[in-house]
Amino acid sequence: MDTSSLRQLFRKLPRFLDEIDDSIYIMKVENGEFTYSYVNRPATRFSGITTEDVGSTFFAKNSEQMAHYLHRKYSRAVAERTAIRFEAGVVMPNGMVSGESIVTPIFGEDGEVEYVVCVTRDITAFKKTEELLRHYAYHDDLTGLGNRRYLLEHATGLSCIMLLDLDHFKKLNDTFGHDAGDALLVEVADRLRASFGDDYTLVRLGGDEFVLAAHGNAADPERVAEEILSVFCAPFPLKDRQIAVGVSVGVAIREDGEDVQTLLKHADIALYQAKGEGRRRYHIYESAARYDHVVKFAYELALSHAVENRELELLYQPIYNPFKRRIVGCEALMRWNRTPAEVVSPQEFIPVAEETGLIIPIGDWAVRQACRDWRELSKRYGPGFKVAVNISRIQLHDESFVDRILRMLQAEGVDPSALELEITESVVLHNVHMVQSILHRLRQAGFTISLDDFGAGYSSLSMLTLLPIDTVKIDRSFIRDMNAALVSAMLAMAKALNLQVVAEGVEEARHFVKLVEMDCPGLQGYYICKPVARDDLPERAPLRNDEKDA
Ligand code: C2E
Ligand code: MG
Ligand code: MG
């Protein structure tokens, strides 16, 4: 076909080829060389090739590098005699454009490839979105620094991690507002970038935690940590004021083969050590040192945020009266959902809460929550229904306890007769008279009091006469061993003193049968029901065959 008949052919190509979005190039193939035979209008827009260029090769119209690249791709389609697909970026005067192309060979009558048709789709916008998404996935929105994912994926060659935590950031945030807090974080990021930007990986882990990570073994950790502290020497502008903001730094130096997670954990321990030593300082993690106290400190700190972070939960375990054949009450048992995957039992965190005084806010939370739940439960089980709340001796010894609990109940619109307060004999360790008077006030207000874990301590019997109580809860060790003589003696004594009785730890059918036989009016234990969420409490206790027999 000569050139003029070719022109005729392409003139006849339908107009719509100019109207579609994709670029179309038809190349004539001759002696392994390609010459433009046809380009549509989008192709001109995309790559600058015009109909004037018909007859010239890639090399006449593209950069040398691009021409070689296209030549290779087209040659492959010819050699393999099949369509091939590729993606390429082209630098145009107005920026980089990206195209996705399919190159298809067209065969002549002799079976040789005569033309190659290339259709290119402009994917520049798509690429930009993809890049943007990638950026968001690996960067922190607020500061533009990398995020945790970025750190984890750029960990090769990491030699040292410095974990920074601003001192008292929460207080600043609460005092000056979130916008000011955000502005502070941005300023911190800017300062860090200005001081360390090029040589280190800078990451915001979340909240007020930043990481500065060194690669290779160039950095002297102590010098770098000092430098970080000096970045915080100048005050920060916060809402037209200049505020001094301190930082604590935990340093972890990588030892062979440690992964980033371990490195981060060590930096975290070192950070708590630095905080514990009085903040505004750094600490370098030493693998030989013992950090038990730091781990404990971290634990306490986490517990101190448990209420505000809504990590606490009350489960309920029914108390069953086999003679009324009804659930007459339930005990509130606290759980700490420290992370979505870790539930901490009260045996573990209540002692820590007691030691640190955190039991006061935590205990208050439990009382309020129990009141709210009682309102629901009394609808379901009747108004005489009681929720038992465990009260620690630390709470009871707090001067303002009685006034506070009364105010809480009033605020919740719940009468004290809704709650039974469970105490253990450890409450009278120091001052019997004071405890007596507190319990009298509570009973006068309408609460009932029960003595928990009865029999487990040393002086249980004397407690019965010393303390004004309504109920005894027989410790589960007696039920487990089913010491019938002892249990029936306790039941008789309770009856003589006009006290209610609940047997704890009813785990098996034989316990149940025996206790019913002995006229025990209150039963609590896994055999009846495990502690469950409020809404999972059974409507009525499951009636068991042996109970029907009993
Ligand atoms: P507790 O007051 O004697 O509560 C009964 C404990 O026995 C609960 O353990 C309960 O889950 C468990 N239990 C119930 N039935 C059975 C059974 O059939 N067999 C066995 N082996 N165990 C059974 P939990 O929930 O781990 O609570 C442990 C202790 O933590 C409680 O002992 C109580 O002293 C304290 N505690 C729980 N919640 C609170 C709270 O809100 N405030 C305070 N101050 N202490 C709490
Ligand atoms: Mg209890
Ligand atoms: Mg108990």
Alpha-helical (H) ranges within 317-468 are 346-356, 359-381, 393-396, 401-412, 432-445, 460-466
Q: Give the number of the ligand closest to the Cα of residue 477.
A: 1
Ligand 2 mean position, distance from CA 331 (Å): 7
CATH number for the domain spanning 144: value is 3.30.70.270
Atom of ligand 1 at shortest range from CA of 531: 11
Does residue 453 line the site of ligand 1, with CB under 6 A?
A: yes
Considering the domain architecture, whether residues 347 and 257 belong to the same structural domain is answered as: no
pTM: 0.62
pLDDT at res. 544: 58
Measured from the Cβ of residue 242, the count of other Cβ atoms closer than 10 Å reads 9
| 350 assigned to some structural domain | yes
Does residue 318 line the site of ligand 1, with CB under 6 A?
A: no
In Å, what is the CA distance from 246 to each residue of 167, 184, 424, 443, 461? 5, 12, 44, 50, 56
Considering the domain architecture, whether residues 488 and 413 belong to the same structural domain is answered as: yes
Q: Which of 97, 125, 153 is where one domain is finished?
A: 125
pLDDT at res. 125: 86
Buried-exposed string 472-499: b where 16+ CB fall within 10 A, e elsewhere? bbbbbebbeeeeeeebbebbeebeeeeb
Whole-angstrom Cα Rg for the chain: 38
Q: Give the number of the ligand closest to the Cα of residue 505.
A: 1
Q: Which amino acid is at 511?
A: H
Please list the helix, strand and coil fractions of the chain in percent, rounded to the nearest 5, in that order. 45, 25, 30
Q: Is the pLDDT of residue 13 over 80?
A: no
Considering the domain architecture, whether residues 182 and 317 belong to the same structural domain is answered as: no
Could you report the per-residue pLDDT of 172-208, keeping only the tens digit for each? 888 889 999 999 999 999 999 999 988 899 999 988 9
Residue numbers of the domain that contains 491: 308-541
Considering the domain architecture, whether residues 317 and 408 belong to the same structural domain is answered as: yes
CA–CA separation, 515 and 523 (whole Å): 8
Q: Mutate which of 333, 359, 524 to test ligand 1's pocket (most atoms within 8 Å of Cβ)?
A: 333
**Mean pLDDT for the stretch of residues 204-230:** 89
Q: Is the pLDDT of residue 14 over 70?
A: no
Q: Is the pLDDT of residue 300 over 90?
A: no
| 549 assigned to some structural domain | no
CA–CA separation, 113 and 81 (whole Å): 8
User: pLDDT-derived band of residue 157, with 50, 70 and 90 as boundaries?
Assistant: confident
Q: Mutate which of 345, 390, 473, 474 to test ligand 1's pocket (most atoms within 8 Å of Cβ)?
A: 390
Considering the domain architecture, whether residues 143 and 116 belong to the same structural domain is answered as: no
CA–CA separation, 144 and 182 (whole Å): 12
In Å, what is the CA distance from 406 to each residue of 62, 332, 445, 538? 85, 18, 8, 30
Average pLDDT of every residue of the chain: 90
| 297 assigned to some structural domain | no
**Kind plus residue range of the DSSP H or E element containing 96:** strand 95-107
Considering the domain architecture, whether residues 418 and 447 belong to the same structural domain is answered as: yes
Place of tokens 């979105």: 129
Residue 463's nearest CA partner among 503, 497, 502 is 497
**Mean pLDDT for the stretch of residues 274-293:** 86
Ligand 1 mean position, distance from CA 333 (Å): 6
**Mean pLDDT for the stretch of residues 386-410:** 96
Measured from the Cβ of residue 186, the count of other Cβ atoms closer than 10 Å reads 14
Total domains, the chain: 3
Residue 519's nearest CA partner among 343, 379, 322, 351 is 322
Considering the domain architecture, whether residues 112 and 169 belong to the same structural domain is answered as: no
Q: Is the pLDDT of residue 6 over 80?
A: no
Alpha-helical (H) ranges within 413-455 are 432-445
pLDDT at res. 230: 95
Considering the domain architecture, whether residues 282 and 369 belong to the same structural domain is answered as: no
CA-based end-to-end distance of the chain: 106
pLDDT at res. 63: 87
| 399 assigned to some structural domain | yes
| 398 assigned to some structural domain | yes
**Mean pLDDT for the stretch of residues 237-255:** 92
Does residue 531 line the site of ligand 1, with CB under 6 A?
A: yes
Q: Which tops the pLDDT comparison, 298 or 187?
A: 187
Atom of ligand 1 at shortest range from CA of 333: 38
Tell me which range, 123-127, 215-219, 310-314, is most confidently predicted by mean pLDDT.
310-314
User: pLDDT-derived band of residue 245, with 50, 70 and 90 as boundaries?
Assistant: very high
Q: Which of 125, 160, 195 is where one domain is finished?
A: 125
| Phi and psi, residue 317, nearest 5° | -120, 125
**Mean pLDDT for the stretch of residues 217-243:** 89
CA–CA separation, 79 and 113 (whole Å): 9
Q: Is the pLDDT of residue 321 over 90?
A: yes
Q: Is the pLDDT of residue 534 over 90?
A: yes
Considering the domain architecture, whether residues 43 and 152 belong to the same structural domain is answered as: no
- Report yes or no: 30 and 81 within 8 Å, Cβ to Cβ: no
CATH number for the domain spanning 518: value is 3.20.20.450
Q: Is the pLDDT of residue 1 over 60?
A: no
| 550 assigned to some structural domain | no
Considering the domain architecture, whether residues 313 and 427 belong to the same structural domain is answered as: yes
pLDDT at res. 293: 80
**Mean pLDDT for the stretch of residues 51-72:** 90
Max Cα-Cα span within the chain: 122
Does residue 452 line the site of ligand 1, with CB under 6 A?
A: yes
Q: Is the pLDDT of residue 383 over 50?
A: yes
- Report yes or no: 494 and 471 within 8 Å, Cβ to Cβ: no
Structure tokens at 122: 């402009």
Torsion angle, alpha carbons of 253, 256, 261, 266, to 10? -40
Considering the domain architecture, whether residues 372 and 418 belong to the same structural domain is answered as: yes
**Mean pLDDT for the stretch of residues 508-514:** 95
Considering the domain architecture, whether residues 452 and 525 belong to the same structural domain is answered as: yes
| 295 assigned to some structural domain | no
Ligand 3 mean position, distance from CA 21 (Å): 76
CATH number for the domain spanning 43: value is 3.30.450.20
pLDDT at res. 481: 85
Q: Which of 224, 259, 289 is where one domain is finished?
A: 289
CA–CA separation, 311 and 121 (whole Å): 52
Q: Is the pLDDT of residue 334 over 90?
A: yes
Q: Could you tell me what percent of the chain has a pLDDT over 90?
A: 61
pLDDT at res. 496: 87
| 134 assigned to some structural domain | no
pLDDT at res. 550: 47
Count of all residues that appear for the chain in the document: 550
Ligand 3 mean position, distance from CA 473 (Å): 7
Classify residue 422 by its DSSP letter: E
Atom of ligand 1 at shortest range from CA of 422: 2
Structure tokens at 282: 């750094």
Does residue 477 line the site of ligand 1, with CB under 6 A?
A: no
pLDDT at res. 130: 82
Give ∠ CA 462-465-471 in degrees, rounded to 5. Answer: 100
Could you report the per-residue pLDDT of 146-155, keeping only the tens digit for each? 998 899 888 8
pLDDT at res. 15: 73
User: pLDDT-derived band of residue 3, with 50, 70 and 90 as boundaries?
Assistant: low
pLDDT at res. 90: 75
Q: Is the pLDDT of residue 2 over 60?
A: no
**Mean pLDDT for the stretch of residues 51-77:** 91
